[in-house]
Every structure is written in C-alpha cells, then in structure tokens.
C-alpha cells in the first residue's frame, strides 16, 4: 500500500538510474528494501558497503556505478537526496497541516529560556543550580545531615557495636571475626560504606539530577558552554555525558556514544576518567571540605584547571576534525514527580546492586591481604609516594581502596579525617589526587567495552602517574603560598 508514495520519491533522473542499476545487481535479500540499500550505497554508508561486499559478487560493478554517479554531481549525493526528501515532506505537510494562532503562549518559560542561554544571566543561573542542587542538597544535606545520621546514629551506636559483640560472642576465631566485624569487616566496613556513606549521597544526587534533566536545562547549558568546550576539543553536546559523570562516571562513559566523532569520544572518556568525580566521591569530598571554604575552592579550581589543561592538550595533540555543534533544544518542562521518583529509584537500584558486591569483595580482599601481610606490604610500598605528595602513610589505605571504587577511596579518606589524621592542606592534596586517580573497576571495564583495550590502557597508563604528579605539584603550590 505504500508503493504509491515510493513512486513519488524521484530523487533525480541520474540517481534514479543509478539506483535501478544497483538494485538489479543485488542478488541477495536484505531486511531493508533493495532500493534503500542502493540509496545507502550511493551515499557512501560504510556498514552497508561492507555488507554488500561480503554478500554480492557484483560489488566491483556497483562501485563503478557509484563512482560514475557521484562525479555527475557538484554536491555530495547525500545532500541531493536529503534535499529532495525534504521537498516531498514539505509538499505532504502543506496539505495536512494548518498553522493557526498560538493559543497558549507560555511567557514565563520563554523568558526563562532566554535567561538560561544568555551568558550574562546563564552563568549566575548555573551557579545557583550548582549551589542549591549540588552543594546544599547533595553536599550539605545528603553528605552532611543524612550521612551523619546513618553513620553516627545508626551504625556507630547500634549496628557496629552489635555486630562486634555478636561476632565476638558466637565466633571463636578472631580471623573470622575480622572478616565480618571490627575495622575492616564486611558489615562494619563494606556494608557501612555502602549504606551509610554512599547511598544517601548518590540518592540525593540522582534526585537533583533527575529534576534538572527533566526540566530541559541541560541542552541549554550545552549552548552556554559550547565555546569553552570547543577549546578542549569537545562541543556543547558533551555537557550531557560530563554532567552525568558527576553522578556516575561509568554510566557517563557509556553515554559518550552520543558524541559524533571518535576523537571527541576519546577526549570525553579521558576527561571523565581523570577529572570528573562521581557523585559518591563528590559528596564525600564536599562533606570533608565543607567546613573549609578555602580548601573547597582550592580543590574545585585545581580540578577545573586540570580538566581544561588536559582537555586543551589532548585537543591539540589528537588529530581529527573539529566538532561542529548541533543539538536540539527541547522546551522547558515541569518535571513530573512520578518520573523523577522512578528514575532516581532505577538509577539507585542499579548503582547499589553494582557497588555492594564490589564493596563486600573489597572487604574480603583487604581481610585476606591483612591476613597474609600483603596489605601492609602494599601500604608500605605506597608510603614513599604518599610522602612525596606530603601525605601521612595512613593515606595509602584510602588510595588502595580507591582502586576498587572511586567512592570507596573517598570514604576511606573520610575515616582518616574523622580521626584527625590530616591537616587542611593534606586534605586538599589527598582529595585532589584521589579524584584524578584511576577510574574505578566498573568505569575501567566500561572504557574497555566502549573504547577498546588499547585506548583504555593508554588512558589508565596516563592517569596513574599524572594523578600523583599533579598531587605533588599541588602540594608544592600550597606550601609556596604558605598554606590555607
């Protein structure tokens, strides 16, 4: 029944003739019509070329037809075909759509739209969003109030003592006791980190992020930062994976698929792995530094600097086309509570189910490491590195945790600070180095999947020494200005 319309799709006599020639030499059946296959071949679709080359003996002949046709046109064939299709669309719509008066002119959303895009008002709006959405809600409320309650009131007072007493009473072997309870036990460390520290932070972040997402603010932010991003080899589109990275870098690495060129995808993957802290890490660091605005400012500016510097450098060093910016801007909409709730729930469930086994595994590994003395050995080996960046030897534990997950490492730092083992400068250096330091296991496996072994290894191989070098430089800088 659709044949009538297909007949209307006459692109151009030359193209039509080429299509017919190609169609007649396609002997196999495809899931898409031979006409479509022929058109895609003409437009230089690599995947279809490969498919046809594998299936058809006549591929060389087809190539010749394509060659001959493309020289007959001044513009690329793709352009000619697209133009024709648009003409047909317009003629179809001329009959079917009538434009009347705009009945519901939403002034407020129009004004808001303009304010978010204009740099003079857009940047203050961005700062407001960051301050209330990220700092106040995630940092102060999530990582402060909620974590304090769960950590201090629930785990420290009820669960940990109970678990410690219970294991001491019923399990006669100290070795097994340590596996479950005490300093590094599955329940007292692994589950405590997951539930008391990570869960409230990730939860509040995803609530804030879902609301921002559903309002349609992100594409507007993309317009706003497009110019800055261009300098680091990305375009405004990359705002979405980058902001999502503040939630979970693993998710974000997957979303880099939406970027148009391979070069952009690699740059984005590198920057995510290096300079974007995930929500759990961010929350813990915000909580660590929240009482010290200068320290927080030092951490933020140092990471921003690293982000821009490395982005700029890779953009300069990596060959490839400069990105062009093209993105649809959907209308600003009122987020619906139902969608925000189910989205937050889905993401948290995913996140939690992913981290819990790793946390438990990490507890077991640390337990085994301590039992065999390997743990102390690694901590010892890291000691000189810690000293080099001005940190006490105990900080090595947090970095060791960081191998397992970004947030786990930050949580380890939290414990150190609670014990008063770090000065403000040390805290800043540790937080910055830990943020830059290796992507977590989950993120690394996503990098492998999306970018391939070579690129993933190259990125990790760069980040590891770079993080410590940056920590070293930051430590020197802080010393030079006489501390904060």
Partner 1 sequence: MLKKMRKGGKCCGSDTDPLELHGLKKIVLVGNPNVGKSVLFNRLTGAYVTVSNYPGTTVEVSRGKGKIGDKYFEVVDTPGMYSLLPITEEEAVSRRLLLNEHPEAVVHVVDAKNLPRMLPLTLQLIEAGLPVVLVLNMMDEAKKLGLDVNVSSLQKRLGVPVVSAVFIKGEGVEQLKRVIKENGKLVS
Which positions from 221 through 250 interact with partner 1, judged by CB under 8 A?
Answer: 237, 240, 248, 250
Nearer to partner 1, 36 or 424 (CB): 36
Among 78, 164, 423, 424, which residue sits at the site for partner 1 (rule: CB under 8 A)? 78
Is residue 95 part of the contact set for partner 1 (CB under 8 A)? yes
Among 3, 57, 75, 419, which residue sits at the site for partner 1 (rule: CB under 8 A)? 3
Nearer to partner 1, 54 or 172 (CB): 54
Could you tell me the CA-to-CA distances from 20 to 29, 35, 36, 42, 394 in Å, in that order? 16, 8, 11, 11, 74
Answer yes or no: are the C-beta atoms of 441 and 405 closer than 8 Å. Answer: yes
For partner 1, which stretch binds (CB under 8 A), given 94-102, 122-130, 223-231, 367-375?
Answer: 94-102
For partner 1, which stretch binds (CB under 8 A), given 173-181, 296-304, 334-342, 359-367?
Answer: 334-342
Is residue 97 part of the contact set for partner 1 (CB under 8 A)? yes
Q: Total number of residues binding partner 1 (CB under 8 A)?
A: 78
Query: What's 335's DSSP letter?
Result: P
Answer yes or no: are the C-beta atoms of 444 and 460 closer than 8 Å. Answer: yes
Which positions from 247 through 286 interact with partner 1, judged by CB under 8 A?
Answer: 248, 250-251, 254-255, 257-260, 265
Answer yes or no: are the C-beta atoms of 410 and 434 closer than 8 Å. Answer: yes
Nearer to partner 1, 98 or 169 (CB): 98
For partner 1, which stretch binds (CB under 8 A), given 91-99, 143-151, 171-179, 382-390?
Answer: 91-99
Which of 353, 379, 359, 350 lies closest to 440 in space, CA to CA?
A: 359
Is residue 213 part of the contact set for partner 1 (CB under 8 A)? yes
Hey, CA dihedral for 56, 61, 65, 67, is it positive or negative? positive
Buried b (16+ CB within 10 A) or exposed e, 344-377: beebbeebbeebbebbbebbebbbebbeeeebee
Is residue 154 part of the contact set for partner 1 (CB under 8 A)? no
CA distance 239 to 286: 22
Answer yes or no: are the C-beta atoms of 344 and 208 closer than 8 Å. Answer: no
The terminus-to-terminus CA distance of the chain in angstroms comes to 75
Which of 306, 308, 286 lies closest to 469 in space, CA to CA?
A: 306
Could you tell me the CA-to-CA distances from 265 to 47, 237, 315, 317, 446 in Å, in that order? 20, 11, 12, 15, 13
Task: Look at phi and psi of residue 373 and say left if phi exceeds 0, alpha if psi is from -120 to 50, else beta.
Answer: left
Is residue 20 part of the contact set for partner 1 (CB under 8 A)? no
Among 140, 327, 360, 378, which residue sits at the site for partner 1 (rule: CB under 8 A)? 327
Contacts of 378 (CB under 8 A, 6+ apart): 369, 396, 400
Nearer to partner 1, 1 or 317 (CB): 1
Nearer to partner 1, 112 or 296 (CB): 112
Is residue 104 part of the contact set for partner 1 (CB under 8 A)? yes
Least distance from partner 1 to the Cβ atom of residue 160, Å = 28
Which positions from 351 through 390 interact with partner 1, judged by CB under 8 A?
Answer: 353-354, 357
Among 72, 92, 175, 477, which residue sits at the site for partner 1 (rule: CB under 8 A)? 92
Question: How many Cα atoms sit within 13 Å of 185 on the Cβ side?
Answer: 19
Is residue 109 part of the contact set for partner 1 (CB under 8 A)? no
For partner 1, which stretch binds (CB under 8 A), given 56-64, 131-139, 216-224, 391-399?
Answer: 216-224
Which of 273, 185, 269 lies closest to 233 in space, CA to CA?
A: 269
Which of 359, 435, 438 lies closest to 194 in space, CA to CA?
A: 359
Is residue 99 part of the contact set for partner 1 (CB under 8 A)? yes
Is residue 107 part of the contact set for partner 1 (CB under 8 A)? no
Binding mask 336-355 for partner 1 (x = CB under 8 A): x--x--xx--xx-xx--xx-
Is residue 14 part of the contact set for partner 1 (CB under 8 A)? no
Could you tell me the CA-to-CA distances from 54 to 26, 44, 50, 143, 188 in Å, in that order? 12, 16, 6, 56, 58
Least distance from partner 1 to the Cβ atom of residue 451, Å = 11
Nearer to partner 1, 49 or 292 (CB): 49
Which positions from 34 through 63 interact with partner 1, judged by CB under 8 A?
Answer: 35-36, 39-40, 43, 45, 47, 51
For partner 1, which stretch binds (CB under 8 A), given 196-204, 285-293, 328-336, 370-378?
Answer: 328-336
Which positions from 399 through 458 interact with partner 1, judged by CB under 8 A?
Answer: 442, 445-446, 449
Nearer to partner 1, 84 or 292 (CB): 84
Least distance from partner 1 to the Cβ atom of residue 187, Å = 22
Answer yes or no: are the C-beta atoms of 417 and 411 closer than 8 Å. Answer: no
For partner 1, which stretch binds (CB under 8 A), given 129-137, 211-219, 374-382, 458-466?
Answer: 211-219
Answer yes or no: are the C-beta atoms of 417 and 395 closer than 8 Å. Answer: no
Is residue 88 part of the contact set for partner 1 (CB under 8 A)? yes
Which of 401, 404, 405, 425 lies closest to 413 in space, CA to CA?
A: 401
Nearer to partner 1, 88 or 154 (CB): 88
Nearer to partner 1, 5 or 176 (CB): 5
């Amino acid at each position: 029944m659709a044949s009538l319309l297909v007949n209307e799709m006459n692109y151009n006599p030359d193209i039509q003739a080429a299509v017919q020639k190609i169609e007649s030499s396609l002997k196999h059946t495809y899931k898409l019509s031979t006409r479509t296959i022929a058109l895609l071949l003409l437009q230089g679709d690599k995947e279809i070329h490969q498919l046809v080359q594998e299936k058809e003996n006549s591929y060389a002949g087809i190539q010749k037809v394509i060659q001959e046709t493309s020289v007959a046109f001044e513009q690329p064939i793709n352009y000619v075909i697209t133009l024709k299709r648009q003409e047909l669309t317009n003629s179809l719509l001329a009959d079917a759509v009538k434009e009347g008066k705009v009945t519901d002119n939403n002034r407020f959303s129009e004004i808001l739209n303009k304010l978010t895009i204009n740099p003079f008002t857009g940047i203050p709006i961005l700062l407001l969003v960051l301050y209330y959405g990220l700092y106040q809600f995630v940092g102060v409320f999530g990582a402060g109030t909620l974590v304090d309650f769960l950590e201090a009131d629930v785990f420290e007072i009820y669960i940990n003592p109970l678990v410690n007493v219970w294991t001491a009473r019923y399990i006669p072997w100290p070795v097994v006791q340590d596996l479950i309870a005490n300093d590094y036990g599955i329940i007292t460390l692994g589950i405590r980190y997951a539930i008391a520290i990570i869960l409230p932070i990730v939860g509040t972040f995803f609530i804030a992020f879902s609301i921002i997402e559903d309002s349609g603010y992100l594409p507007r932010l993309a317009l706003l930062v497009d110019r800055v991003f261009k300098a680091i080899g990305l375009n405004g589109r990359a705002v979405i994976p980058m902001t999502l990275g503040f939630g979970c870098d693993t998710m974000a690495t997957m979303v880099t698929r939406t970027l148009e060129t391979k070069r952009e995808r690699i740059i984005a993957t590198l920057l995510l792995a290096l300079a974007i802290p995930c929500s759990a890490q961010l929350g813990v660091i915000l909580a660590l530094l929240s009482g010290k605005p200068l320290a927080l400012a030092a951490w933020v500016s140092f990471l921003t600097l690293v982000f821009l510097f490395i982005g700029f450098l890779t953009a300069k060093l990596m060959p490839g086309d400069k990105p062009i910016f093209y993105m649809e801007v959907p209308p600003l909409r009122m987020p619906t509570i139902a969608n925000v709730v189910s989205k937050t729930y889905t993401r948290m469930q995913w996140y939690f189910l992913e981290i819990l086994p790793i946390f438990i595994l990490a507890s077991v590994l640390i337990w085994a490491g301590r039992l065999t003395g390997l743990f102390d050995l690694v901590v010892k080996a890291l000691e000189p590195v810690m000293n080099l960046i001005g940190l006490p030897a105990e900080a090595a534990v947090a970095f060791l945790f960081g191998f397992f997950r970004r947030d786990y490492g930050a949580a380890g730092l939290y414990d150190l600070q609670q014990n008063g083992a770090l000065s403000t400068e040390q805290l800043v250096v540790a937080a910055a180095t830990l943020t830059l330091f290796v992507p977590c296991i989950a993120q690394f496996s996503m990098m492998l999947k999306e970018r391939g072994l070579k690129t993933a290894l190259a990125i990790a191989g760069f980040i590891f020494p770079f993080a410590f070098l940056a920590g070293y430089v930051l430590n020197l800088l802080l010393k030079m200005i006489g501390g904060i």
